[in-house]
Structure 1
Amino acid sequence: MSIPSFARTNFQTLLRAAGDGNLALMECLDAVTGTARYVICAVGRDDGDFVFTPFGHLADGNPYDVYLPPDPEDPNGFVHPDAPGEMP
C-alpha cells in the first residue's frame, strides 16, 4: 500500500521541525468529543507571532491497541485483531 504524497510531505515537514528544534506538545480538546488530546505541533513564526501547526496526537494508553499495522501477507491490507495468530 502506497503512502499518499500529502502524508509524505507532512512527515518531511515534521522531521525538519524536529531537526530544527521547532516541535511542541500542546494540550488541546478533540473538536468532536471534547476529550483532552496531546498534540504534536510544528512551531513557526508569522510576523512575530508563533504559529502552531498540528500533525497528530499521542495515543492514549497502549498504541498497539489503537492502530492496526499493514499485513505482511497482503500489501493492500491490514492485520486485524480477529485474524487467528496475527495479534496477541
Structure 2
Amino acid sequence: MAIPDHASTNFDTLLRAAADGNLALMECLDAVTREPRYVLCAVGRTDGEYVFTPFGHLADGNPYDAYLPPDPDDPTGLLVSPAT
C-alpha cells in the first residue's frame, strides 16, 4: 500500500517539529463523543501567539489491538487475524 502524499507531508512536519522541540501533547475532547483524547500537536507562532496544529491522537489501551499492520507478503493487503 502506498502512503498518500498528505500523510507523508504531515509526518515530515511532525518530525521537524519534534527535532525543533516544537511538539506538544494536549488533552482535548473528542468532537463527537466528548471523551478525552491526548492529541499530538505541532507548535508554531503567529503574530506572537502560539498555534497548535493537531495531527492525531494517541491510541487508547493497547495500540497493538487497535490497528492491523500491512501484510509483508501482499503490498496491497493488511494482516487480519482469523475470526475466533
TM-score (normalised: structure 2): 0.95
C-alpha deviation, 1:82, in angstroms: 2.1
Higher relative contact order (CA 8 A, sep 6+): 2
* Correspondence 1:23 to 2:14: no
Opposite residue 71 of structure 1, the aligned amino acid is D
* Correspondence 1:10 to 2:10: yes
Question: What is the aligned partner in structure 1 of residue 54 from structure 2?
Answer: 54
C-alpha deviation, 1:32, in angstroms: 1.1
In 2, the alpha carbon distance for the partners of 1:30 and 1:81 equals 29
TM-score (normalised: structure 1): 0.91
In 1, the alpha carbon distance for the partners of 2:66 and 2:58 equals 11
Q: Percent identity?
A: 74
C-alpha deviation, 1:69, in angstroms: 0.3
C-alpha deviation, 1:74, in angstroms: 1.2
In 1, the alpha carbon distance for the partners of 2:46 and 2:81 equals 45
Give the aligned CA root-mean-square deviation in angstroms: 1.3
In 1, the alpha carbon distance for the partners of 2:2 and 2:83 equals 23
Opposite residue 14 of structure 2, the aligned amino acid is L
Number of residues of Structure 1 aligned to a counterpart in Structure 2: 84
Which 5+ residue runs of structure 1 have no aligned equivalent?
none
